[in-house]
Structure formats: structure tokens, C-alpha cells
Structure 1
Amino acid sequence: MVVTVPNLLTLLRLCSVPFLITALIYKRVGLAIAIFIFASVTDVLDGYIARRYHQRSYLGTLLDPLADKVLLDGAFITMALMRYSPPWLAVAVVSRDLLLVGGVVLAAVFFGGVVEVRPTVLGKATTFFQVVTVFATLLVHRLNLS
């Protein structure tokens, strides 16, 4: 494993997911918001540090989007199960991610090896809006506005 600060931040984000889900299950929405903000900040920082300090790695290019998907899919699924958001939203988000990951796996098998996946503006925008949606949903429930 390539040990870099960005990769460690990405691993921290992955490790935060069970805590986020647990906080949501136990209806500790304030704690869930804090964990989600922490995880979101690690997402911003890992990319910035990797670019700024030339710490990009192949492992990081795989782990970062995986951590995003695990965090956001876990949040959307748990929010749907807790009735904080409609189930169709979780289905849409998770289905999209499964199609993307499945496409990459099929491409790797078809082309017989490693497939380079680069982030796009649309992908970054989608992640941003998903983060905003999770945060807003949690905030609405924390403030009892639902």
C-alpha cells in the first residue's frame, strides 16, 4: 500500500461510514451530521493535498471514488431505512453507482487489465449535489423541520 497523507484521509473517510450509519440508526442526527461533515472535509482535503504536494497514487485513484460511493450510498440507504428520505432516492443513487462500478469492471475484463478512471466535471458535480442532499436531509431532521 502506498502510504500518503491523501490515502490516509481517504481511509479515514471509509472508516467513518460505520460510525455514520450507527449514529443514524440510533437517531443521533447531530452526531451523524458531525461525522458526515468530517468525512466530507477529508474528501476535499485528500484531493487538494494529492495535487498540491504531488502525492497522487494509483491506489488513491481507486480508493477515493470508492470511499465516496461507500459514504454516500451508506448514507442514502440508511436515511431511506430510517424514513428520513424517500426510498426511490437511495435506489437511484445506488443503482447509478452500481452501473458505474459494473461498467469499469466489465471494461477491465473486456480489455484484459487495468482501466484508468478519471473524474469528470459531471461526476464531481454529482458528488457535490449528493453531499449537499445528505447534509440538508440530516439538517432538516436535526432541526425537526420535516
Structure 2
Amino acid sequence: MTIVSSRIVTIPNVLSLFRLLLIPVFLIFLLTHEYLMALITLVVSSATDFVDGFVARRFNQVSRVGQLLDPAADRLFIFSTLIGLAWGGFVPWWLTGVIIARDVLLLVLGIVLANHGFGPLPVHHLGKMGTFALLFAMPVLVLGAAFPAIDQIANPVGWAAALWGVFLYWWAGVIYALQAGRIIREPQDPPVGASDTLDS
């Protein structure tokens, strides 16, 4: 059983904060065409995402702050990276829009749940898999720009991972929406014998 603590300063939380601080660094490198440095920054950021999760579970450092900070760092990094990649012409703007739309959906769900007195939904494994695919795809796409000789390999591999990540990302989003709807409806179920005219 995972014990969730109220600690703020933990190794996973520090890594998540570090990942947030790398966002402007990556964007500066990308927009100034320093593709190798952008690639290194992106790889380091992606690595911290996996390390902080491992450390949190392995050393019982799961915290309430981390449960909010880690996915927030993931989404902000993916969002900012996609904006940078689209701006640089690596990916089309529609792909950025599709991914951002899913995060807007989760934001709306979070607000709705909070208005009904519920906390955020636990992270679904499909969402983590989608995040993994996207965090893998983005450095691969930048890899092709940093080393043009392998672009013919890196580009299709990066695109395959990106599209798979988008699919999983939205699949998880639909599951979150269904879970939120079920959670909100359950406390409002009428008692036995009550009118069912308001049932959905």
C-alpha cells in the first residue's frame, strides 16, 4: 500500500521543479537553432520524469504535493515543447492543438470536480503511457534536426511515437471524463422509491 505524505521537500518534488525550470532553457536553445543543446535539455528533462516516479515509489516519497506537481510539470513541459516545435516547423500546429485540447478537458474536469467537493482524479496508466510516448517522440524529432544524416530514420520514428502518444493521451482523457461523471453522479443518486424523472 502506497503511503501519501504531506511532505513538500522530497527528491521527486525537487526533480519535478527542476523539470519546470528546464522549460525556458529548452525553448531558448530550440528557437536559437541550438538543436544539439535543445536535444540534451529535452533528454535530461524526460529522464527526470521517469526518475522521480521511480524514487517516489521505491523510497516511499509519494506526497500530495508530488501528485499535483509531477503531472503539472509533465503537461507544462509537453505544452511548451510542442509550442516550440510547432513554431520551429518540426510539428504542425494541429497536433499541438489536439494535445492542448485534451489538457483543457482535464482542466475543466478538475474545476467541475472541485466545485462538487472532490479532489483531482488519480493518474491513469494510459495517461502515463501517452506522456511517455510524447516525451520520447519530441527528443527524437529534435534529434533529426540536430543530426540531419539520420533525419530519415528519426522523423518517422518520432512521428509514430507522437501519434501513438496522442491516441493514448485522449483515450486516458475519455476515461477521466467518464470517471468524473460517475463520481459526480454517485452522491446524487436518489433514495429508493424517489422519483426517477431526473435520472440520466
Partner of residue 120, structure 1: 124
Partner of residue 93, structure 2: 87
What stretches of structure 1 move > 2 A for 4+ residues in a row?
none
Structure showing greater relative contact order (alpha-carbon pairs closer than 8 Å, 6 or more residues apart): 1
Deviations 1:49-84 (A, max 9, x none): 111111111000000000000111111111101111
Matched to 2:35, the amino acid is V
Alpha-carbon shift at residue 128 of structure 1 (Å): 1.2
Q: Could you say what secondary structure the match of 2:28 adopts?
A: helix
Q: Which has the larger radius of gyration?
A: 2
Partner of residue 180, structure 2: none
Tell me, yes or no, if the aligned pair for 2:35 and 2:145 is still in contact at 8 Å. Answer: yes
TM-score (norm 2): 0.69
Partner of residue 8, structure 2: 2
Match of residue 99, structure 1, among 105, 111, 121: 105
Tell me, yes or no, if the aligned pair for 2:11 and 2:52 is still in contact at 8 Å. Answer: yes
Matched to 1:126, the amino acid is G
Alpha-carbon shift at residue 115 of structure 1 (Å): 1.1
Alpha-carbon shift at residue 8 of structure 1 (Å): 0.3
Distance of 1:21 and 1:117 partners within structure 2: 30
Matched to 1:83, the amino acid is G
TM-score (norm 1): 0.93
Distance of 2:9 and 2:74 partners within structure 1: 19
Partner of residue 45, structure 1: 51
Match of residue 60, structure 1, among 57, 62, 66: 66
Partner of residue 135, structure 1: 139
Distance of 2:121 and 2:23 partners within structure 1: 23
Moved more, 10-19 or 91-100: 91-100
Tell me, yes or no, if the aligned pair for 2:113 and 2:120 is still in contact at 8 Å. Answer: no
Distance of 1:7 and 1:84 partners within structure 2: 31
Unaligned runs of 5+ in 2: 1-6, 153-200
Indicate the RMSD between aligned Cα atoms, in angstroms.
Answer: 1.4
Identity, in percent, stands at 31
Distance of 1:4 and 1:80 partners within structure 2: 34
Unaligned runs of 5+ in 1: none
Deviations 1:99-146 (A, max 9, x none): 11221122112x13x513212121011101111221121111112237
